[in-house]
Amino acid sequence: MFADFLKRLMQPEPAPLPDADARLALTALLVRVARADGRFDDEERVRIDQICAARYGLSPFEAAKLRSAAEALEAEAPDTFQFTEAIKAAVPYDDRIGVIEALWQVVLADGVREAEEDQLLRLVSKLLGINDRDSALARQRIEPR
């Protein structure tokens, strides 16, 4: 279903993604982090829907539809290294910082920071070209919420 999308994303030098494709790719990354601990529960789904609604100005129905498509894309996407490297090449830096904030929201959605989620988020941050300091600042901006 997403073969053409993934093929374009995995080009050696992908072109910047159109807005709809960037939304889908970044939401799929949220799903991947949510699944890192082996559970993908309702709190995480709701949080991803809320993030998508707020970030992209979507209705709850549209946000849930985007998340559902992202779940399917995430299941087909290659390993995290290739997937995040492709996003890094196709998405501007400021948007990637916003993604790190959103990823922290997902990790903290169930009130528990699992070691697997923490580890994956550190890896994803590095692969997206975000240093530890900026990732920590993103987490600090999210934790009080």
Structure tokens at 46: 């709701």
pLDDT of residue 52: 94
Instruction: Identify the weakest region by mean pLDDT among 32-41, 45-54, 62-71, 79-88.
Output: 79-88
Tens of pLDDT, residues 3-14: 676 676 666 666
Q: For 43-61, b where at least 16 C-beta lie within 10 A, e where not — what string?
A: ebbebbbebbbebbebeee
Give every CB contact of residue 134 below 8 A, 6+ residues apart in sequence: 97, 100, 125
pLDDT of residue 3: 67
- 18-142 is a CATH 1.10.3680.10 domain: yes
Torsion of CA 103, 107, 113, 118, to 10 degrees: -40
* Mean pLDDT within 98-108: 87
pLDDT of residue 1: 56
In angstroms, rounded to a whole number, what is the distance separating the alpha carbons of residues 54 and 28? Answer: 16
